[in-house]
Chain A
Amino acid sequence: MAQKKNHRTSSDDPEELTRTVLQAVLLADSFAQKFRPITLERPKVLLPLVNAPMIEYTLAWLESVGVEEVFVFCCAHSQQVKSYLENSQWTKQPGAFSVTTIESHDAISAGDALRVIYTHGIIRGDFILISGDTVSNMSLAKALSEHKDRRKKDPLAIMTMVIKHSKPSALTHQTRLGNDEIIMAIDPGTKELLYYEDKVDLSQHLISLDKMLLADKSALSLHNDKQDCYIDICSPEVLSLFTDNFDYQHLRRHFVKGLLIDDIMGYKIFTHEIQSSYAARVDNFRSYDTISKDILQRWTYPFVPDVQYLGNGLQIKLDREGIYKAPEVVQSRSAHIDSFTVLGNATTVGDNAVIYNSVIGQGCTIGHNVTIEGSYIWDNVKIEDGCKLSHALVCDGVHLRAGVVLEPGVILSFKVEVGQQIVVPAYSKVSLLPQPSKQDSDEELEYADANTGIIESPSIATMMNAQKVDFPRGTSDADRSGTSEFYVSGAGYIWSSCEGGNEDEWRHSIAPIPADKLSESLLNAFADVDAPDQDTSCIPASGELLPDSASTVGDGEDYRDSADFEKEVEATFQRALAGVDLENVILEINSLRLSYHMSHADCAGALFHSIMKAALVPSYSSKNDLYANAVKEIIKWRDLLKHYLKTLDEEIEVILKFEEISVETAREFSPLVSNILSCLYDKEILSEEAILSWAQEKEGADESDKIFTKQSEQFIKWLREASEEEDEDKD
């Protein structure tokens, strides 16, 4: 700490007030399981992406945009991350870039991580929230200054999300990165994010927006072609929000959506669209593949293999057609290296080998007549003669014996061995570690403790004993039959595909989508277009705006709900009487509102109800006493009430509610309606427009309904005249 202090005083003493150290929080854990089984042995951020660990790209970018303090939050395999960072260039480096690790083992989500960081109290100003698997070369200056300007004008603008234009595939409804397409509604003027949905139900071809969005905003643009870059500029409030809402787990699913729905606190999220620069996050195997190719195509310049940004110190040379070669590659004269290929240091390529669109790590040995297509081969892999690899991912230390065929989408985790002539079926995942049992796989958990939840079936044990025996040719059929916990002659278990199930495997795999799946989705797409026109928008590029998005729950249910809601509000209000802080009351009512799916107007009505009830509590002898009581209560709770009376609708709702209670529950008020209305008007709780429109609404109603309008006829008349006068004045 003392050292840090020194740092600050020396570096920015004179401009302390104007400039604060730019900080970043880097989550070195994805809190997801998409990279299993590889992530059982190594944290995701240390997995190589074009021969450099992913975290290198993120740190290099943070350094290049002028971030001075990075807090790396590690959870799974924290020891590995820490020791990696200690030996990396980032901690050794002189100058104003410091990397600090924060460790916590019980965090199971990004929300938990941010709560831990909040308790450390290290974030002093705006910070960048980024995941350790993000590749970007964007310049931050503009986004940051926009964020700061907005903050000055509006302290509720607490977050700026970076987005990028990227068209999703019309067939698969996936982005290039393998995520589902995201629907965002953005205010075109202010760039405020109004709606965010990453789990669109495509079967229905419709999304529903809150009609309030359209009521408030003059314009709104709806996008499905924006890619979320998962780079956020946040204000310190974000951390405290996470702490307040302890159920926020996921950054987008809970936090962003939560803020967008919750308009009570009024926090706003804005977007910043990057134009020419690149930003993407490695979220699944598909994005691993896509981003690797983007790097080779140099979209991420200067974070490309031949510019030595990433600190492996090797001078990699870029040949024609995007072939990157490290210095000590031994390549047979007859080997054919084709476009967009990386050959790592000290790798040997045998005769007649054909390699294209692939990344080969360091110290690999590739035998004769090997074909490698679109694959990612990490360090120290041995591939014997005649193997065929297409669109596979092969981790460190894997040994493929002669004649092995890896079909598209195969993942071989660390040190797996595959025996001769074996065909590893498409999309299979093989690891030396057995698959943890299902019940353990908490969806948010990246890793399970190696000791828990592994099915120790005896058959495996015997299999393991038999390992390293080379099976003779022809065992491949037997291997195919194995669904899970089978091991391919050599060593390793085949994992049964987890979560998504087998049919979704092709979506997120490294391999390109097979032709039959594509034609299938093509057919589906056509079928949709052919569907009757009443299904207004079949074109996936545009969403349909539902005129009324109010809850689809039946009316009867609605009634019950609103009664309950009123009771709850009343109880809350009682507690407020007992002296609970006003802010807490608001918070409580808001949470009630959310849980009962009520509108603001409902809150206002219920609250008013409670206030009126409170007015009945003290003893009163005459009408005048009651009136005085009511006025007292109204004045007392004016602020609270005002909080919910933001628009005309809500004010009218209050009047209607008042009417209702005067008729039904608290008849004592019925003679006083007119007086209390004018009192509410005097205290500026109700506007004259609200009262007038209420009167107008009632004009056409039954006589029985008109009691109160008649009663307050004089008042209304006075109001009308006053407003007319005003109008005349204006003219």
Chain B
Amino acid sequence: MPDVQTLVNDFVLKLKRRKIEGSQASAKQTAELLRSVVSQQRLPYINQATVLLDAVRAVGEQLIAANPVELAVGNIVRRILHIIREEDLTSTASAMEGLSLSANSDDDDNYEREDHQALSAAAVAAAARSTLRAPSLQTLLEGIPESASAPHPSSSGGDSEGKSKSAERSSRSKKLKHDVIEAINELIQDIETCHEQISEQAVGLIHQNEVILTLGRSRTVKEFLCAANEKKRSFRVFIAEGAPRYLGHVLAKELVAKGLQTTVITDSAVFAMISRVNMVIVGAHAIMANGGVIAPVGINMVALAAQRHAVPFVVVAGSHKLCPLYPHNPEVLLNDFKSPSDLLDFGEFSDCMDFSTSGGSPRLHVVNPAFDFIPSKLVSLFITDTGGHSPSYIYRLIADYYSADDFVVRRRSTS
């Protein structure tokens, strides 16, 4: 087993050099790295969770700083911090038999909510034993809606669960770590399978003989469309080519290979074509806490066109793209500016950039942003691996996945 620090350094370098392409890969590798951080962290008898949180936070801060544009890395770090908190609370809750938890909780301001959640979690764990994942509000709503609204679910179920666990009190030190790793494994699995889970919903959304428009290439969109196609839905796809990287061309090729009826249009023809479109489906780079979307450049234009013609605008994205930050947060680096060589041929324009004769200041500026921001009001529906959500519900999803304490990942000062 290689040293964790070298693994971390390696990954930080990769992130810094932008060698990891795509949110899914970044998310998965971040989770795997943090899993080994957790598994190799030595734990003392007391304050286990705090030690674990600090370790993850220390690594997480480096990872986020290494590539602030890739928000998925930060999301996964925050998810794992949340997992540790939840597992800790679950185990303490059961161990303390539903009594006060203040001893181990290190987040006082959010104490009430955490407490409440963890307790109800214990209750659900009793009800649905098979599930290892830390229960969220979602499962609560689906499982036992009554207990979710109840302020103090100190039911007999939770009690008995606590008793059975207190028997294994001696093995608790290993238990927490084990649980956390189990939960991270599940998270990794979720990330891996997010495309399938999203695609499962495709048949319900795409109807016979519809015309779907997308821009650029997103793997999620591709899988989504292919899944609908496999279920014998016959529909047509318009693909805006997505200048300047023209990934739309790649997508067209892939879809045609799968037997889909495909039409490629220029980005500038989107408005002209939108009236014939039944639904717009695009991928995203990140979904922000207010329901706004960061997506490849050009999509805002598509969203505005869709709104003008009242065409549903659907964003498909795995839940690792859910970012708990608001777009106005100073930590968020919204955009990445790529090389102008995507737009212009350097040789052809080299005489425009001869600074020696143009008075020393560049007269030609080329701006090549990677992303657009799409305000939440333009989005009709989000499809994530947990189902379809409206933009106004995103804040609630985020409260499920992340703990408010972790929004800013900073190492606690040692003082």
A178–B339 touching, CB < 8 Å? no
Asked if B357 is at the interface of the complex by the 8 Å CB criterion, the answer is yes
**Complex Cα gap A7–B360 (Å):** 49
A276 to B: closest C-beta gap in Å: 4
**Proximity bits, B346-383, A CB within 8 Å = 1, else 0:** 11101101111111111001101000000000000000
Q: Is the CB of B365 within 8 A of A322?
A: yes
Let me know if A176 and B354 touch, CB within 8 A: yes
Mark the stretch among A241-249, A298-306, A583-591, A702-710 that contacts chain B: A298-306
Least CB distance from A377 to B in Å reads 15
| A53 contact set on B, CB distance < 8 A | none
Contact of A298 among B68, B340, B354 (CB under 8 A): B340
Do the beta carbons of A95 and B357 come within 8 Å of each other? no
Query: A94, B360: Cβ atoms under 8 Å?
Result: no
In the complex, are the beta carbons of B347 and A164 less than 8 A apart?
yes
Give A339 to B361 CA distance when docked, in angstroms. Answer: 10
Q: Which of A169, A276, A302 contacts B342 (CB 8 A)?
A: A276
Interchain nearest-CB distance for A289 vs B (Å): 6
At the interface with chain B, which of A146-154, A510-518, A665-673?
A510-518
- Pair B357/A171 contact, Cβ less than 8 Å: yes
- CB contact under 8 A between A302 and B17, given known A166-B350, A176-B356, A286-B356: yes
| A297 interface hit (Cβ, 8 Å) | yes
Q: Which of A167, A289, A373 contacts B347 (CB 8 A)?
A: A167
- The 8 Å CB contact of A309, one of B6, B17, B333, B357, is B17
B360 touches A169 (CB 8 A): no
Q: Judge whether B13 is part of the interface by a CB distance below 8 angstroms.
A: yes
Shortest distance between the CB of A504 and any CB in chain B (Å): 13
Contact size range, B: 35 or more
Contact at B354–A169, with CB atoms within 8 Å? yes
Interface presence of A549 (CB below 8 A): no
Assuming the contacts A165-B346, A302-B18, asked whether A513 and B356 have C-beta atoms less than 8 A apart, the reply is yes
Contact indicator B357/A172 (Cβ below 8 Å)? yes
A176 to B68, CA, bound (A): 34
Judging by beta carbons under 8 Å apart, are B9 and A298 in contact? no
Query: A-facing mask of B59-77, CB < 8 A → 1, else 0?
Result: 0000001101000000000
Contact of A275 among B18, B66, B345, B362 (CB under 8 A): B345
Chain A residues near B355 (CB-CB < 8 A): 176, 289-290, 293, 512
The distance in angstroms between the C-alpha atoms of A297 and B351, with both chains bound, is: 15
A278 within 8 A of B: yes
Task: Kindly list chain B residues whose C-beta atoms are within 8 Å of the C-beta of A165.
Answer: 345-348, 350
Q: Which of B18, B66, B350, B360 is in CB contact (< 8 Å) with A391?
A: B360
Minimum C-beta distance from A731 to chain B (A): 51
Q: Is the CB of B345 within 8 A of A276?
A: yes
**Cα A34 to Cα B333 with chains together (Å):** 40
Q: Say if the beta carbon of A307 comes within 8 Å of chain B.
A: yes
- B338 at the A/B interface (Cβ < 8 Å)? yes
A278 to B347, CA, bound (A): 10
Interface residues in A171-185 (C-beta closer than 8 Å to B): 171-172, 174, 176, 178
Is A307 in contact with B16, judged by CB distance below 8 angstroms? yes
- Chain B residues with Cβ below 8 Å from A391 are 360
Query: Is A299 in contact with B337, judged by CB distance below 8 angstroms?
Result: no
Tell me the bound Cα distance from A620 to B340 in angstroms.
81
Q: Is A367 an interface residue (CB 8 A)?
A: no
Q: What residues on B are CB-neighbors of A64 within 8 Å?
A: 17
Kindly list chain A residues whose C-beta atoms are within 8 Å of the C-beta of B341. 276-278, 299, 301
Report A-chain residues with C-beta under 8 Å of the C-beta of B338. Answer: 298, 301
B346 touches A299 (CB 8 A): yes
Asked if A278 meets B358 with Cβ closer than 8 Å, knowing A137-B339, A317-B333, the reply is no
A37 contact set on B, CB distance < 8 A? none
Q: Known: A176-B350, A178-B356. Contact between A340 and B16, CB under 8 A?
A: no
Chain A residues whose CB sits within 8 angstroms of the CB of B366 once the complex forms: 297-298
Contact call B345/A357, Cβ cutoff below 8 A:
no
Assess the B361–A357 pair: CB atoms within 8 A.
yes
Max chain A C-beta neighbours (<10 A), residue from B16, B353, B355, B356: B356
Instruction: Kindly state whether residue A43 has any CB partner on chain B within 8 Å.
Output: no
**Complex: how many Å from CA A416 to CA B360?**
25
- B10 at interface by CB-CB < 8 Å: yes
Q: Judging by beta carbons under 8 Å apart, are B360 and A511 in contact?
A: yes
When C-beta atoms are compared, the residue in chain A nearest to B335 turns out to be A318
Cross-chain pairs A/B with CB under 8 angstroms, 26 sampled: A93-B9, A93-B13, A165-B348, A166-B346, A166-B350, A167-B351, A169-B356, A172-B357, A174-B356, A176-B356, A275-B345, A276-B342, A290-B354, A293-B355, A294-B353, A299-B340, A300-B339, A301-B337, A301-B341, A302-B17, A308-B16, A308-B66, A357-B361, A374-B360, A391-B360, A518-B357
Interface residues, chain B, with chain A CB atoms under 8 Å away = 6, 9-10, 13, 16-18, 65-66, 68, 333, 337-342, 345-348, 350-351, 353-362, 365-366, 368
A-B contact sample (12 more), CB < 8 A, given A276-B342, A290-B356, A299-B341: A94-B10, A167-B347, A275-B345, A276-B346, A286-B356, A290-B353, A293-B353, A293-B362, A297-B362, A299-B346, A391-B360, A512-B358
6 nearest interchain CB pairs? Answer: A165-B347, A301-B339, A512-B360, A166-B350, A276-B341, A167-B351
